[in-house]
Amino acid sequence: MRFPKIAAVPAVVLLAAACGGGGGGGGADPAGAPDSLTVWVMGTAQDPLVEYFDGIEKRYQETYPDTTVEVEFVPWEDAQESITNAMAGGDAPDVLEVGNDQTSNWAQQGALLALDEHIADWGATGDLDQGALEYGQYDGAQYGIPWFAGVRTLYYRSDWLSDMDMEPPATWDELVEVSTAIEEEQGVPGFAAPTDFTNGIASFIWSNGGEIATQEGGEWQGQLTSAEAKEAVEFYAGLTSEEEISPQSYVGENELVPLADMANGELGMYIDGSWAMGQMEEQAEDPALLEEISAAPMPGAEGIAPAFAGGSALTVFSTTEYPEHATELLKVMGDKEGGKGYADAAGYFPAYPELLNDPAYQEDPVKAAGAQQMEHTEFFPATPRWNAADQDQAILPSAVLEIVQGGDVDEVMEQANKDLTETLNEEVE
């Protein structure tokens, strides 16, 4: 999963030295601690995040009082170039945030340090989401520690549904029914089904019992030609081409376009993450309208659809001169206190399932929907080649686009499955 892509120049925040009592775990010798450690965080330097890192530094300095923490916020769109340059000998961090679906890619390229020996006695790993923890592995070694989680849910106009005496849809049939009713009553599209939206499309496939790809005999095999996957993709594409509840203006677009429409009363429902409310605040011409927007778990074929368990992982950069001290900083950022603190500051969920019972995630309707959705998640293929298949080739979005434009489902999905299988099995250089 990703932070919202907000254009900004990277900013370095040198947090003031502080002392206190309690600490970073003491797994490395304080006498050998560096003067500073550098953390690269993806996104922009928003005040709650800067405040979070001020607290992280104070906690770390309880054990390593002479070490300052320098935090550089790197826009997501600059991450690839920044990490590549660091690998080539440029400025590099000690601790690095990466998207959880990017961990194996950077591990394979040698950018990340294997953490196994450094976290062997760290008790927090047993309480982390074990699926997310496993997703941070590559070639049998642990390279990433789940930092926070993010899932997508269904946003809807609660006032419109209340006026029609309807509940948010929980199934595909209800999605069509409610969307149609919204358009008839409000004169705006009932639902958005953008085609450049792998995360949303995948949820439809998973909810119908389908898979993207599976490992068989040590090789990846695409599963896009299964009856379940084809039916799901045909349904998703048909929301535009057949049911016509999603307008043509979303064809070829991602979820950022319907976000603006949702924020301004021009759309009834769409799928996005918990972070979207902050973006809608920036887009809304009338902020009062946002009070009418609520959320529910995503509707599936017969019930709640699984969502991609997005989020980020904390890693240690392979070139750090202080691997033990960097790992101790990772632990402070990624333990229950640090993980929940960042999730709250950034609008996500902690990577510790037990913390989802916190009233803060149950009393707010939008957060409650996300917390419920967190109980229904899936992961994309854990291979460095997934990024090539999705980000570079856009195999699944391209197939949906072609079907919306009239392509034969069987033929399109056959070719997409062939491309996916070949790409996932290409030799990693």
Superfamily of domain 152-307+385-424: Periplasmic binding protein-like II (3.40.190.10)
Superfamily of domain 11-150+309-373: Periplasmic binding protein-like II (3.40.190.10)
| DSSP string across 71-126 | EEEE-HHHHHHHHHHHHTTSS--SEEEEEGGGHHHHHHTT-B---HHHHTT-GGGG
pLDDT per residue as tens digits for the range 237-251: 999 999 999 999 999
- Predicted local distance difference test score (pLDDT) of residue 429: 65
Is pLDDT above 50 for 25? Answer: no
Least reliable range by pLDDT among 34-38, 104-108, 344-348, 398-402? 344-348
- Predicted local distance difference test score (pLDDT) of residue 46: 87
Average pLDDT for the chain? 92
Mean pLDDT to the nearest integer, 49-72: 97
Cα 186 to the chain's mean position, in Å?
A: 32
- Predicted local distance difference test score (pLDDT) of residue 428: 74
Three-state DSSP class for residue 266: coil
CATH 3.40.190.10 positions along the chain are 11-150+309-373, 152-307+385-424
- Model confidence pTM above 0.95: no
pLDDT per residue as tens digits for the range 175-223: 999 999 999 999 999 999 999 999 999 999 999 999 999 999 889 999 9
Handedness of CA 71, 74, 76, 80 (dihedral sign): negative
pLDDT per residue as tens digits for the range 307-347: 999 899 999 999 999 999 999 999 999 999 999 999 999 88
